[in-house]
A = this chain, B = another copy of it.
Amino acid sequence: MNPATAGFGSACRFALLALLALCAQARAQTDPLPSWNEGAAKQAIVRFVRDTTTQGSPQFVDPVARIATFDQDGTTWVEQPLYAQVMFAFHQVGVLAGKEPKLREIEPFRTILSGDPAQIAKLSLPELEKVLAETHTGMTVEVFQKSVQDWVTTAQHPRFHRLYTELVYQPMIEVMQYLRANGYKTYIVTGGGQDFVRVYSERVYGVPREQVVGSTSDTTFGYDADGKSQLTKVPQGVRVDDKSGKPVGIHLMIGRRPTAAFGNSSGDQEMLEYAQDGGGARLMMLVHHDDATREYAYGPDSKIGTFPDALMSEAKQRGWVVISMKNDWKRIFAWEP
């Protein structure tokens, strides 16, 4: 680069930075979290962002290390009465049975096709794994993505009668946007399928595919009949991104401890510990489902989104912030009046 163009480049950089600072100032004057009630939870988020992004602050975090991880089911969208991905799997059993009618005679597919919740609830873990393998593997990644896209743009939630993607929590969307506006990279770190969530993560959360960490199984490389290279999803090499699998997935996919981590259940405990034990300014938050009117209230004995008393104790002891949906969230969904 010759000195003249280097000078022009510097001038550009200076003008851009000055304008960015001005715009940031303008933005700071508006409330970045309008769906949050004033309170300890909202304050904790605002204070964390200020402390970690203000130059000269003792808790300043280098922009490359600004990583925020969000669990999905129960943290960024509704997980009751069943995980969306399980609903997708059950739906796919119907699609498969349309093509291979023999499936209607074989368990556990017959039970799922019966639609009887009591019988379905009795299915064993190996039976459910068989359903997941049948509906999630044996096709190219593109064919799988298409099936998720078809489902997620049409399937409705049984209580709210809306698309699942309309059941994301507006307050959490605001936290993600606020963090990104302050130089954070936001990740979904979910027990759900990585390839499943990637289909809508960009559109729904503003999180690009490469920032989704989830459960995976292997893919195998090969060629189609026309000699085009392709990857096929296979049921081997399953990695479950839950509990201790979350820090493992975070290291695999990101390579550093999160500065902020958000969850809602025992499945997120290790992720929050792993974030906090990196030291320095860290923000750990747990969504507590205590609003049966607007969403759901589930106690320590819930099968989905388990939040036992021991987790509440650990949160208190470690200084994690527990979000009360009922008290901290002014509205839960974007479409609320």
Which residues of chain A have a CB within 8 Å of any CB of chain B? 1-2, 5, 8-9, 12-13, 15-16, 19-20, 22-23, 26-27, 29-30, 34, 64, 67, 141, 185, 194-195, 198, 202, 208-210, 212, 216, 218-221, 228-231, 244, 247-248, 251-256, 270, 273-274, 277
> Can you report 7 residue pairs joining A to B where beta carbons are below 8 Å apart?
A1-B34, A5-B29, A5-B30, A198-B255, A221-B244, A229-B277, A230-B277
Alpha-carbon gap, A13 to B27, bound state (A): 11
* B34 touching A255, Cβ below 8 Å: no
Nearest-neighbor residue (CB-CB) of A218 within chain B: B248
Q: Which B residues touch A270, using CB under 8 A? A: 221, 229
Nearest-neighbor residue (CB-CB) of A209 within chain B: B255
Nearest-neighbor residue (CB-CB) of A221 within chain B: B244
Q: A29-B5, A195-B255, A254-B210 given as contacts; is B23 within 8 A of A12 (CB)?
A: yes
Looking at the assembled complex, report how far the CB atom of A287 sits from the nearest CB atom of chain B, in whole angstroms.
Answer: 21
* A12 touching B30, Cβ below 8 Å: no
Looking at the assembled complex, report how far the CB atom of A83 sits from the nearest CB atom of chain B, in whole angstroms.
Answer: 21
* B210 touching A231, Cβ below 8 Å: no
Nearest-neighbor residue (CB-CB) of A25 within chain B: B12
Nearest-neighbor residue (CB-CB) of A5 within chain B: B30
Alpha-carbon gap, A141 to B274, bound state (A): 13
Q: Which B residues touch A185, using CB under 8 A? A: 210
Q: Which B residues touch A228, using CB under 8 A? A: 277
* B26 touching A8, Cβ below 8 Å: yes
Give the top 7 A-B pairs by smallest Cβ distance, nearest first: A209-B255, A12-B23, A221-B244, A229-B273, A5-B30, A228-B277, A210-B254
